[in-house]
Structure 1
Amino acid sequence: MLRPSLLILALSLSLTACQKGGKESKTASASASAQATLQVTQEDYFVVENNALASGPVITGSIQPERKADLRAEVSAIVMQVLKENGEAVRKGDLLARLDDTSFRDQLGSSEQAARAAQQTLDQAERQLERLKTLRASGMTSMQALEDAEIRRNNAQSELVAAKARNVAARQQLQRTEIRAPFDGIVSERKVSNGDTAQIGKEIMKVIDPSSLRFQGLVSAESVSVLKAGQSVSFRINGYDQQFIGKVRRVDPAANATTRQVEVLVDFVGSNQPRVSGLYAEGRIEAGSTQALTVLSSALIRDGDKTFVWAIQDGLLKRAAIIVGERDVRRGDYAVASGLKIGDKVLRQPMSTFKEGSKVVLTASAGAAAPTAAPVVPAAAPASTAVTGK
């Protein structure tokens, strides 16, 4: 709606009832008219002119994070504690959930004892081998005894290596009972509660990085030839009453086998970004630009398959039928195929109360100086007189 302070509709009705005779009375009634005067400021209309009209293929898809992690159980155990809820911010390394680690601690303790025993066995075998080498040098032992000592030392070394490996595996199993954040982000979905049984592969939580959101869209295969990295993209996201700007990062070299559409990855430009992932988005890739007359979308009046605008021509309000073409992907303006010419004045936001042929007076804006607005006062005066009855 036009602002009341900027648009004043003055209705001047003057009826002359002269009782001088039958014919004179009919003539006076026939001359009675309703004259509407519309006062319009510069903020209420725009001038039609040539503008660059961006064009390109439509892209549809959803907003997805580049960094996301589906944290799953790597051991089978009971969920003992869940420390983070949906929407909570986490730092890299923060503990998110803890599984029952009783049996894994026992396994770790057993493996550590086995590693110590293997180390002692190796130390003893090496001392025995050194003694036999000394005795063999003096001829007091046989070569067979020396070889047997070397075999026992080698076996002890192998057992120590195996024991250390089992110890490392047991320690890793124990660490896997603690589910930790892999990076700074937000918990997007919690899958378990205290007391649940977590089998290997069961999803525990999802963590996303909200600062890494991007637009993952699909484009018809017919438009692949005009797509390239670096092109600007204008799109809207479901749930946000604003337009977002992005830039094509990558065009997938392979089309989807089912839909035959091509995936296009779009990065956000600037700090204007959503904070929620998974939302539907739709827009257009700016693959080209042409010069055309344009009109604001808010100025259009749709009536079936016809389109009209309220134009100001020779000081009168006129309902002009136009034909619109493509829509600009950046501003939302429409190209005008016919019905308007350069320099025409069109009201930005038409009202349903407008009448064809109403007089239009261009006035200064509310913040302008009084002398500039002074010439408009006489136009509004008759309306005031008619309404108040003075």
Structure 2
Amino acid sequence: MPRPALIILAALCATSAAPASAATSVEVSLVQAQSLPRRAELSGQLSAARHAELSPRLSGVVERIVVDAGARVEAGDRLLKLDDRLARLSLSSAEAAARAATVRLADAQRMEEEGAPLAAKGLLPASQLDSLRAAREVAQAEAHERGAEAALLREQLNRHWLTAPFDGVVVERQVDMGEWVQASDAVLTLVSDAELRFDARAPQEWYGRIDPGAPIRLHIDGREAAVENATVAAEVPASDTASRSFLLRLAVPAQTPALLPGASGRVELGLRGDRRAIAVPREALVSYPDGGRAVWVAVDEGSGPVARSLRVQLDPAISDPAMVLDGLEGGERVIIRGQTRLRDGEPLTIAAER
């Protein structure tokens, strides 16, 4: 055979063998669709179920302050006292009058008891016995009145003390000794940290869709560990006309160390209705400089499998495998090995399939 013919034949053989030698060997994984619970995140803040601006029950001058900001108190503890000198004097006078009325009642009862036998024997007119009974009833009524007046003044004396209505922490003191306060003035702020709640505003479209049985994770700013066991306490059925949202309230169990009312945070919770997602091994993901993600898939196109790049949207929750929400349909062969230098449309050789 002439030499030029040999050269042409060798070139043709080299050309026909080129596609086979250029095919890239890869490993693939067959991915399928599955249901993914819907998760949502909201911002909010902790608040105390009991938060009171305490006011004295009487007006007067502050004589004594027992607690200051930061003090932990129990229900019934005395917190602040008003000047009660005039009240003590009034009570002393009322108690003396009540004792005198009691003595007069005892004397009236004695006279009635002595007159009854004499009237029965005809030695005392019946009209005089009636007068003795009337005098005893008047004395009895007067003793009751004086006793009630003393009890009233005793209660007023007790009301010069301001007591704690529940267990909690004093977070603010608004007055000082010697100040005149009205019965409506707030003098101390008391907050209970034993029963907390987390309030967040949720979009009105979520009303009735929050799943109380789904796990709830509460993250408080400045605290590393998430708060577990929070529960949905209420979905207030009233939408804010400006923000088109409703109040979602969570009940927060007691924590150690204690949580601070007023602290901000965020809550992760579940919504009714699952999403369709594709589970993809994380080694298949490719990152782009703009923050986007993609995967390479092996697609059969006549002459054999070729590489195709597909942009995907991932579920924000970190998981392995990753959950693709958009970009895949399910049933694709995703490349998990050998995809680092692929070009779109490059021929492939499937070395292994999971």
- TM-score w.r.t. length of structure 1: 0.61
Q: Check if 1:283 corresponds to 2:272.
A: no
Cα 1:334/1:171, change in 2 over 3 Å = farther
TM-superposed CA distance for 1:309, in Å, is 7.5
Q: What is the percent sequence identity of the aligned residues?
A: 23
User: CA shift at 1:180, angstroms?
Assistant: 2.6
Helix, strand or coil: the match of 1:215? strand
1:73 partnered with 2:62: no
For 1:337, give the aligned amino acid: D
- Cα distance in structure 1, aligned partners of 2:258 and 2:33: 33
What does 1:144-293 correspond to in 2, within 5 Å?
144-227=127-210, 229-240=212-223, 243-252=226-235, 254-255=237-238, 261-268=245-252, 271=255, 275-288=259-272, 289-290=274-275, 292-293=277-278
1:150–1:276 distance in 2 versus 1, CA, 3 Å: same
Post-superposition CA distance 1:155-181 (Å, at most 9, x none): 222222222222222122222222233
Return the offset for 1:187.
1.1
Decide whether the 8 Å contact of 1:246 with 1:266 is kept in 2.
Answer: no
Residues 13-55 of structure 1: per-residue CA shift (max 9 Å, x gap): xxxxxxxxxxxxxxxxxxxxxxxxxxxxxxxxxxx99897442
**TM-fit CA distance, 1:73:** 0.6
Structure 1 residues 139, 185: CA separation in 2 closer, same or farther (over 3 Å shift)? same
Instruction: Name structure 1 gaps, 5 residues minimum.
Output: 1-47, 312-319, 347-355, 358-390
| Alignment partner, residue 45 of structure 1 | none
Q: d(CA) in 2 for partners of 1:278 and 1:243?
A: 17
Q: After the TM superposition, which residues 332-347 of structure 1 pair with which residues of structure 2 at under 5 Å, given as runs?
A: 335-338=324-327
Partner SS for 2:58: coil
User: In the aligned structure 2, how far is the partner of 1:161 from the partner of 1:169?
Assistant: 12
**Equivalent residue, structure 2, for 1:324:** 313
Give yes or no for contact 2:195–2:253 (8 Å, CA) kept in 1: no
Q: 2:107 aligns with which of 124, 145, 152?
A: 124
The two structures, once aligned, show a CA RMSD in angstroms of 4.1
Q: What SS is found at the alignment partner of 2:207?
A: helix
- Does the aligned pair in 2 maintain the 1:104–1:170 contact within 8 Å? yes
Q: Which moved more, 1:229-238 or 1:108-117?
A: 229-238
Larger radius of gyration: 2
Which amino acid letter does the alignment assign opposite residue 279 of structure 1? A
Mean Cα deviation higher: 265-274 or 181-190: 265-274
Q: Distance in 2 between matches of 1:238 and 1:178?
A: 39
- SS in structure 2 of the partner of residue 172 of structure 1: helix
Structure 2 residue runs of 5 or longer lacking an equivalent are 1-30, 297-308, 342-354
Q: Which residue of 2 aligns with 1:113?
A: 96
Normalising by the residue count of structure 2, what TM-score does the alignment of the two structures yield?
0.66
Figure out how many residues of one structure are paired with residues of the other and give that number.
Answer: 291
Q: Is the 8 A contact 1:231 1:247 kept in 2?
A: no
* Distance verdict in 2 for CA 1:64–1:71, change over 3 Å: same
Contact 2:218 2:230 in 1 (8 A): no
Shift of 1:230: 4.9
Deviations 1:314-352 (A, max 9, x none): xxxxxx884435544999x87542389898779xxxxxx
- Equivalent residues in 2 for 1:5-24, closer than 5 Å: none
1:258–1:290 distance in 2 versus 1, CA, 3 Å? closer
| SS of 2:183 mapped into structure 1 | coil
Partner amino acid for 2:263? L
Q: Is the 8 A contact 2:313 2:324 kept in 1?
A: yes
Q: Find the residue that maps to 1:244 and give its secondary structure.
A: coil
Q: Which SS does the other structure have where 2:292 is aligned? A: strand
Deviation at 1:191, TM superposition (A): 1.8
Partner Cα distance (1:268, 1:103) in 2: 47
Hey, what's the Cα distance between the residues in 2 that align with 1:108 and 1:124? 24
- Is the 2:233–2:251 Cα contact (8 Å) retained in structure 1? no
Letter in 2 for 1:285: L
Contact 1:93–1:180 under 8 Å retained in 2: yes
Tell whether the 8 Å contact from 1:244 to 1:273 is kept in structure 2 after alignment: no
The answer to whether the aligner puts 1:307 opposite 2:292 as a matched pair is yes
Tell me the equivalent position of 2:21. Answer: none
Contact 1:112–1:167 (CA under 8 A) maintained in structure 2:
yes
